Amino acid sequence: MFVRETEQKLRNDIRGALLKATPLTLPDEFLKRWLMAANEKPITPEQLEAEYPTYAEQLKWQLIENKLIRENDIKVTAEDATEHVKGILKENFARYGRNPDEVSEDELNDTARRVLSKEDEAKRIFEDMYAQRLMTLYKMKCTIQQKEVSYDEFLAA
């Protein structure tokens, strides 16, 4: 029942462990100056100081993920993305009462092409696919101990 939440918890736990185990020093003063200059909306020094730790952690995580992707030769092609979108479309058709087997390949391809032509949507799909492939890598490389817990224990974790 909580498969999605369990996967997210595992992803967060792995992220936390990798961040803790990977010593990265960022050029904080340079990044703060850059953020002040490059931000689309004006940002106060107080906002910067309050938000910088989150930004720095996200940047460190992005560097770790990019290294894992390179070292493990993880790729997502346009064809992969198209097939992924087609799978999502079939799920949506089924959810709304349309038999996915009755949808033509041309219709699926056209709709997938339209979805992927939207830059924000394509970016989200590629990021999601990389996250899925990284999760597969984590599960292959990490020793994961399953533990059954109550609903309240799960929420507390």
CB 68 within 8 A of CB 134: yes
User: Is 55 in the same domain as 85?
Assistant: no
pLDDT of residue 136: 95
DSSP-assigned letter for residue 146: -
Domain count, the chain: 2
User: Is 66 in the same domain as 84?
Assistant: no
Domain boundary among 71, 96, 126: 71
Task: Kindly report each contact of residues 50-53 with a partner whose C-beta sits within 8 Å and lies 24 or more positions away, as own/partner.
Answer: 52/28
User: Is 83 in the same domain as 24?
Assistant: no
Q: What is the C-alpha separation between 12 and 154, in angstroms, rounded?
A: 14
User: Is 58 in the same domain as 2?
Assistant: yes
pLDDT of residue 145: 85
Q: What is the C-alpha separation between 87 and 81, in angstroms, rounded?
A: 10
User: Is 46 in the same domain as 113?
Assistant: no
User: Is 57 in the same domain as 82?
Assistant: no
User: Is 51 in the same domain as 12?
Assistant: yes
CB 111 within 8 A of CB 93: no
pLDDT of residue 1: 65
User: Is 82 in the same domain as 157?
Assistant: yes
Q: What is the C-alpha separation between 149 and 157, in angstroms, rounded?
A: 10
User: Is 82 in the same domain as 64?
Assistant: no
Domain boundary among 71, 89, 116: 71
Q: What is the C-alpha separation between 89 and 56, in angstroms, rounded?
A: 36
What range defines the domain where residue 127 resides? Answer: 76-157
Helix, strand, coil share (%) of the chain residues, nearest 5:
75, 0, 25
User: Is 84 in the same domain as 149?
Assistant: yes
User: Is 36 in the same domain as 86?
Assistant: no
User: Is 32 in the same domain as 4?
Assistant: yes
Integer distance in angstroms from the first to the last C-alpha of the chain? 17
Domain boundary among 71, 89, 118: 71
Per-residue pLDDT of the chain (157 residues; tens, 9 = 90+): 678 888 898 999 999 999 999 999 999 999 999 999 998 888 899 999 999 999 999 999 999 999 999 999 999 999 999 999 999 999 998 888 888 888 889 989 999 999 999 999 999 999 999 999 999 999 999 888 888 888 888 878 7
